[in-house]
Structure 1
Amino acid sequence: MQQKIKSILVNAPRTEERPIGSAVWNSWKSRSLSYLLDKRTIRLVSGASLLFSAPKSQWIQVFQRMDISSQLEESLREIVELALLACVVDRWSFLIDRLMLTSYEFVTTSRLYNEVHNLVQRGCREETINSKEKGIIEYLEVFLHNRLYLLWELSPVLAAFAIPSWSNLFRNYLTELDRQVTGDFSLTRSDSSTKERKKYRECDVAERIWCLHVCHVGGSDVESGSFST
């Protein structure tokens, strides 16, 4: 794994080695906070809290009906979003505070990327997540088996904060980011031209790496609510 990471970083585009500008950093921070504080998101958080207070068998039945009755992308995406929001509903204020306290650092995206990978190398304790969240993640690992692209249709901050680093889903997410760092955007879709799509996706990958770093690495000394070890 370490050799693979080194190879990816060596072959990463030159833009990966340029320090992140303060304007870009602040725009990512602002966009993440906007999602968490958006009225629609707050409504979904309330709905997720209510839905997942029921036994696992009941909320699975609700999702199965949604999945069977409609194959529309919007419905599938909403299932994933509700499930991920349910994983962080008890830490909502903490997540907002963590983002608010994140200050600019003169670093490259590749450094953040490497530090996130080092987290996986160290490993994380599964017992840091409760049984409800574990059940949700296990469900998503099956549901997203052939639909991982749905994560790229949601806010980067949600995937970063909701998917625990001990899970297979986190590793699948990181593996796809590995591919995109090297320029393989086959999982994601866009109607724009190849040049425009490449530029947009490179920015999206950098933002997702930043969100992962803020959640799992940055401020890892914070005691409560952190996934890091």
Structure 2
Amino acid sequence: MMVDWKYVAIAITVIIFGCMIALVPTLALENEADWPNDRTLQDNENTLAGDRRISSGMQPAQQDIVKLPAMTASDVDQLLVSQRLCRMALNDDPQPYIIALDYMYLDGKVYFHFADYGRKMDLIRSNPSVSVEVDNLCEDTPDFDTVLLMGKLELVTDSEEQERVAKALINSADERGGERNVAARHGLESLDISGLTTRPSAIYRLNVSDYVALRSPG
């Protein structure tokens, strides 16, 4: 039997061509899996750009810090005259103990009356160094002033000084919410000089060693 090699060559060519066609989709899929998508390329570009900024010492743009303007000594005096309540930070462990209370401002000095009992008095006797904050901030006021007074509390023992402070509290009771409310805040049933100046009452003066006074830029 004679073999026609021409037909054999044609058959081999057809088989090889068929195998190549079958392999092309598989190779295409493998190659596509190896290529990064658009998101990966973009992420790489961002990373490279960030690396270039770091290597060149460039930092991201930051806003400048805006500092509030300081109040003058006259402004501080006017604020302390106009207000009645403050917040006092006492030294406690592990955090400060803060109370809201009345204060009296007389002859450039800040005074407080306490009912001589409770945690606040224990802390004052343990460490009389305190910070006192006074401000005029309220919902209807877009501008504000705030002063932070730092110093030590000193028990007032002079009877004339005690009486002046007691009178100042009594005379301003209406501005502080009424006599009944003020008396209750001070551990008393009613306001009178005797009750405010004798035990268990105690009047303290704040000896200011430093202060910070700021206002809105308004």
Range of TM-score over shorter length = under 0.3
Which structure is larger by alpha-carbon Rg, 1 or 2?
2
TM-score w.r.t. structure 2 length? 0.21
Higher strand fraction (1 or 2): 2
Q: TM-score, normalization: structure 1?
A: 0.20
Structure 1 or 2: larger helix share? 1
Larger relative contact order (C-alpha < 8 A, sep ≥ 6)? 1
